[in-house]
Amino acid sequence: MLWRLVIFFAFISQITFCQTAVSPKERLKALLSNQNNWKSVVYMEGLSVEGDNGMTWRNESFPYVIEIAFESDGASDLGVKVLLKSNTNQEAIVGYNFANEQLYLNTINAGKTNILDILGLFTTPLKLLRGRVKLYIFVQKNLVEVFANDGEGFLSSQVFPEENSFDWKIFTIGKAQVGQLGVYERIKKV
């Protein structure tokens, strides 16, 4: 019996287990390739924004995608707060800091978990593309993924929001121009 275990483990040790990493550009392309599965619920162009503006939008369900292209008009930061829950401070913040040329995802207040080090502040360097930043923010029930400038920058984090946390809003620190804003929801299959 022992010799069978030795042969089994010798055989198993010869098998190579591997995962192939997908680049952010490939992942973004795959997510966007199924455009027939998404419906547009918001589309705007040429917005001037300053501060929180008091404008909060609500999506009907998860997942949803926010596509936003913007440039600074004196702003130090611009981004989108997602997973907002009224009467709480719950939010996940996706933003860009113009001075540091840095994309960030702050999930510190994006719900509760007993798992240490899952929620936090995540950053990555990101250069402007022709003076602008373009973000695709994919929001699912327990995951936020951010693709910047067609996959040049990427951040993601697990999140643990309260139920029905569908609200989101644009924020700035200073004044900025939003060239394009599109929001898409997954089409429900019947």
Evaluate whether residue 17 is within a structural domain: no
Evaluate whether residue 39 is within a structural domain: no
Residue 32's φ and ψ, nearest 5 degrees, are: -85, -15
Report the CATH number that the domain containing residue 120 is assigned in CATH.
Answer: 2.60.120.560
Evaluate whether residue 110 is within a structural domain: yes
* 69-85 per-position pLDDT tens digit: 999 999 999 999 999 98
Check residue 83 and give its pLDDT. Answer: 93
Is the peptide bond preceding residue 125 cis, with omega within 30 degrees of 0? no
Evaluate whether residue 190 is within a structural domain: no
Residue 126's φ and ψ, nearest 5 degrees, are: -155, 120
| Residue found under tokens 């913007």 | 70
Give the range of the structural domain holding residue 61, as residue numbers without chain letter: 52-179
CA distance 56 to 68: 15
Q: Cα angle vertex 170, ends 122, 56, to 5°?
A: 125
Evaluate whether residue 26 is within a structural domain: no
Check residue 10 and give its pLDDT. Answer: 43
Evaluate whether residue 27 is within a structural domain: no
* 9-48 per-position pLDDT tens digit: 444 444 444 455 678 778 777 777 776 788 888 899 998 9
Domain count, the chain: 1
Evaluate whether residue 100 is within a structural domain: yes
Check residue 57 and give its pLDDT. Answer: 87
Evaluate whether residue 96 is within a structural domain: yes
